[in-house]
Amino acid sequence: MELGLKDKVALVTGASRGIGRSIAAGLAKEGCKTAISARSERELDRAAQEMRDTGATVHAIQADVTKSGDAKRVVEETVKTFGTIHIVVNNVGGAGRFAPFEELTDEEWLDAFNLNVLSAVRVTRAALPWMKNQKWGRIINISSESGTQPDAFMPHYNAAKGALNTFTKSLSKAYGKDGILVNTVSPAFIRTPLLEEFMAKQAREMGVSVQDVIQQFLRENRANIVLGRPGEPDETAGIVVFLASEAAAFITGSNYRVDGGSVASI
């Protein structure tokens, strides 16, 4: 399928590894001039070089988009490097501490919203003028199944991802007239480096294999995943690349779940 992405300019946040890295690589493979940002300069540079080695045009920007100045800077540097910006993938996010409601502090709630919601607000705000001026834009926010089907634990994260979902819907209604399409992609239990590190730690503490820990987690916390396994980062990247493309020109305000059948609602 011809996706019409050659020479489009894309920015992917949180792109040094995991889902963000797979998304950036997928966009670059389709011919996008791709800017990637993350907090870790070493991991970011390594990811950028690996993409360049495939012939991709990639620019790395070390930044922390939970800070207003950095969020604005990543857009400004993308535009300075490539001339404009067509696609923003707000991938930065995270749960922080896995804890029940009564143990979470106000600071942890605020951190969750700053990381998962306000980072997307800041980057989007900086990119919108360019998209409005050219009457073409794609904003794709990476949420989570937890924003639709919350867990009993991590209520701060669940609430933040729910807020990101409604933020997406609001933007889609506000900027459709400007040729800007805004959608959400909600992965479930994805085998990212962060997940693998967490599972390996649990395995060491329990004296069992990593696969045993994964299967236990699936049984106890993700029994609704009918495919019975974690997803892979590339399995999320594919739908993001599609939503960024001309092939998705009549899709906006939608939430695409990449969850192995986990979310029970229609």
Catalytic residue among 82, 136, 153, 157: 157
b/e code 113-139 from CB counts within 10 Å (16+ = b):
bbbbbbbbbbbbebbbebbeeeebbbb
Annotation marks residue 175 as catalytic: no
CA end-to-end span of the chain: 28
What distance in Å separates the CA atoms of residue 40 and residue 241, rounded to the nearest whole number?
Answer: 24
Angle at 115 between CA 139 and CA 231, to 5 degrees: 70
Joined tokens for residue 71 = 């969020």
> How many CB atoms sit inside 10 A of residue 48's CB?
24
The two structure tokens encoding residue 15: 């792109």
Active site positions, annotated? 157
